[in-house]
Structures are given as C-alpha cells and as structure tokens.
C-alpha cells in the first residue's frame, strides 16, 4: 500500500485554535502579537472552565457549593470558579493592563511590573443558573487596546470604550460540545473542543449568518412588561405569510450564548428589550452585548438597542445594561421598525 501523500483527501486538515491564531497574525499584521497572546490565554482558561462545567452535575459527589469536596477542596459556585480561572490564566503572563469582569464590582489591575497594552472585559459564565439543569452556558469576552499612554496607569476609562473599538471578541459555549467562537475583525471562526486530545479544532470557518432567519428568541413570559412596539413585532413574527417565511418558531433557552450561537448559525433574531422591570434592558453592554455584536456584524448580522448600533454606544459605567436586538440583519431591521413605530 502506497504511503499517504499530503494532497490525499484522507489527509483531513486538523487546525487547532492556536495555529489559527498564528495564521490570523500572518494574514493580518495589524492583529497585534499581544492580542494573539491574550486569545491563547482565554482559550486555555476555557479548557479549565470546561473541565468543571462538564462535571458540574457531580457537585453532590464532589461537595456542594460552599462546602469542601471529598478531596477537602472548597467547592465554588461555577461562575466564581470560572472568574478565578480566567483572571489567573490571563494574569499569570502579565499580558493585560486592566480587566473588567461581570463578577467583580470594580476593575482588576495587574502588579505594576506585569502589564500589557490591552483591556479584557468578560462575563466568566453567563447563564450559570442554568447549570443545575444541564442547560448550555457560556463565557463571553472583549479585548480593547488601552488609551492610556502608560499601561502601568490604566484606569476604568480604558475599559469604557465603545464596542467599535474592540480588537477581538468571542465566546465559549459549554453545551453538548464545547465550542469557542472568535473574531479579530477578520471574519468569525468556530472551534470545537476535542477532549481526547485537549484541543479546540476548527469546525466552523468564516461563519456567515443568514440575512433572514426562521427563529425568534424572546421571553414572552414578560409580555405584560413589554412596550407596544415589541408586542407588535412578536405578533408579526407569528402571523402566517409564506413570502416572508412566517410564522417563525420560538427558540428561547434563557442562556444568552446558547440562543445567540444557534441564531448565528441558523439565522434568527434575539430580543431582550427594555421592560418595566429592566428599564435599561437586562443584558450588560460591555461584556455581553458588545462582544456578541462585534461577532454578529462580522458574520453579516446586525445588533442595535432598538435605535442605536450597539457598537456605537459610548459606555458610562462598567456594568451598564442595554436593550439588545441581535441576529439576522433583515429580522433586526424589522424589529427596529416596530420599536420606532414605523410599522
Ligand atoms: P430572562 C441569564 O441569566 C441571562 O443573563 C442571559 O444569559 C439570558 O439571555 C437572560 O439572562 C435571560 O433572562 O429574564 O429571560 O430569564
């Protein structure tokens, strides 16, 4: 039998996320080496978080949250565990100037002599309340170049940049498989984790989201709290109209990353508007809406707060919230027309 040759179809290409990062840097020299290093660290942290998330159901055996497990180790809430792993994985290499986390009230500054030129904003484990019922959850992150001349004096202002300033963004969805999706502004690429070799392997190259979808994601249990525009938009999606592919199907998992990821791949729209309970919306601008909006636009989709492009919003607070309409471009445009009373 002849030895396999490199152009043999059987030579299935296995591209690890690390080698993809390096390819991106060669193809796009403006993607700074420090950004690539940070992406490496995030991918590593994701592997550590995955290890615990996939066995979360064993908490009874391992020890309940806040207690100690059979090894005598303290068992942390998984979102706090994820938070610590990401901070340590990023912090240990001294590659960042400042971090902002959904779990930390204030910013995280490295030791003076261990700093880089970038800010990392992240939600370590969004939807963590779903873990107990084995629903997919996710890590979401944004990377910005700081504005401060001296990285050793980075401040909150270096975090409070509009989403359009992001140099990279991504998420990890811990579901039936674990997938990491990222962009450096040059397309959107997805990698599926192979636990047998401990690598994220390229599985979704250059993701493009459909112009129009067939799913909508909204918590209609909040109907009484919704404004008239949102109610009319949701009613519109339920009407029968073959030409516009209506009625759409409802898909609402209650875990942002899971709903976003499905809509990104299949097409659809996710709406979390301002409600009577969440007057500014529930979702966070800096480490949920901005990173997902960067990815969505890179994949050909659209993301607004019903009026403004999410990436144009100038943040005032680290943990500020925003209404979010995100997904297939045509669906989001229709949502905006209802929100703005044009339909
Ligand atoms: P509701 C999870 O708690 C979360 O932050 C997002 O992951 C999710 O999209 C949203 O809240 C669900 O909120 O009000 O519909 O339960």
Cα–Cα distance for residue pair 106/266, rounded to 1 Å = 37
The pLDDT of residue 61 is: 44
* Cβ-contact 154, 109 below 8 angstroms: yes
Q: Per-block average pLDDT, block size 10, for the chain (343 residues)?
A: 71 86 93 93 94 74 50 67 90 88 92 85 90 90 95 94 98 96 98 96 97 97 96 98 96 97 98 96 97 98 98 97 98 97 94
Cα–Cα distance for residue pair 293/171, rounded to 1 Å = 11
Question: Which one-letter DSSP state was computed for residue 76?
Answer: P
Helix 228-238 × helix 329-339 angle, to 10°: 140
Q: Whose CA is nearest to atom 5 of ligand 1?
A: 127
| Ligand 1 center from residue 256 Cα (angstroms) | 6
* Cβ-contact 226, 275 below 8 angstroms: yes
pLDDT in tens, 225-271: 999 999 999 999 999 999 999 999 999 999 999 999 999 999 999 99
| Ligand 1 center from residue 45 Cα (angstroms) | 23
In terms of pTM, does the model score above 0.95? Answer: no
Q: Whose CA is nearest to atom 13 of ligand 1?
A: 254
The pLDDT of residue 75 is: 57
CA dihedral for 276, 301, 101, 305, sign (positive or negative): negative
Q: What domains appear along the chain, each with residue ranges and CATH number?
A: 12-204 (3.30.540.10), 215-339 (3.40.190.80)
| Ligand 1 center from residue 303 Cα (angstroms) | 17
Q: Is the CB of 126 under 6 A from ligand 1?
A: yes
Encoded tokens for 51:
């290890």
The pLDDT of residue 79 is: 85
Cα–Cα distance for residue pair 170/258, rounded to 1 Å = 13
Q: Is the CB of 142 under 6 A from ligand 1?
A: no
The pLDDT of residue 64 is: 47
| Ligand 1 center from residue 139 Cα (angstroms) | 14
Q: What b/e sequence results for 62-84 when a residue is b if at least 16 CB atoms lie within 10 Å of its CB, and e otherwise? A: bbeeeeeeeeeeebeebbebbbb
């Amino acid at each position: 039998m002849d030895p396999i040759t490199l152009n043999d179809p059987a030579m299935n290409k296995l591209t690890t996320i690390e080698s993809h990062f390096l390819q991106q840097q060669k193809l796009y020299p403006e993607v700074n080496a420090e950004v690539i290093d940070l992406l490496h660290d995030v991918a590593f942290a994701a592997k550590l978080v995955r290890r615990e998330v996939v066995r979360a159901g064993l908490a009874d055996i391992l020890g309940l949250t806040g207690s100690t497990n059979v090894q005598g180790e303290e068992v942390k809430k998984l979102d706090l565990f994820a938070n610590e792993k990401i901070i340590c994985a990023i912090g240990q290499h001294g590659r960042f100037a400042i971090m902002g986390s959904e779990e930390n009230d204030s910013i995280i500054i490295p030791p003076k002599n261990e700093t880089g030129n970038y800010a990392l904003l992240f939600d370590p484990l969004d939807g963590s309340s779903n873990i107990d019922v084995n629903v997919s959850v996710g890590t979401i992150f944004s990377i910005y170049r700081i504005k401060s001349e001296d990285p050793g004096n980075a401040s909150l202002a270096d975090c409070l940049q509009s989403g359009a300033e992001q140099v990279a963004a991504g998420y990890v969805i811990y579901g039936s498989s674990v997938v990491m999706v990222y962009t450096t502004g040059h397309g959107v690429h997805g990698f599926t984790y192979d636990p047998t070799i401990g690598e994220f392997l390229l599985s979704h190259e250059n993701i493009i989201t459909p112009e129009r979808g067939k799913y909508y994601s909204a918590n209609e249990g909040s109907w009484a709290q919704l404004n008239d525009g949102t109610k009319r938009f949701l009613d519109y999606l339920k009407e029968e109209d073959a030409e516009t592919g209506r009625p759409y199907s409802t898909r609402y998992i209650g875990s942002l990353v899971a709903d976003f990821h499905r809509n990104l791949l299949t097409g659809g729209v996710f709406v979390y508007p301002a409600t009577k309970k969440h007057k500014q919306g529930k979702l966070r601008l800096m480490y949920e809406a901005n990173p997902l909006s960067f990815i969505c636009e890179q994949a050909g989709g659209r993301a607004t707060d019903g009026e403004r492009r999410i990436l144009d919003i100038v943040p005032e607070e680290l943990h500020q919230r925003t209404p979010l309409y995100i997904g297939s471009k045509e669906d989001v445009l229709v949502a905006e027309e209802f929100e703005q009373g044009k339909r």
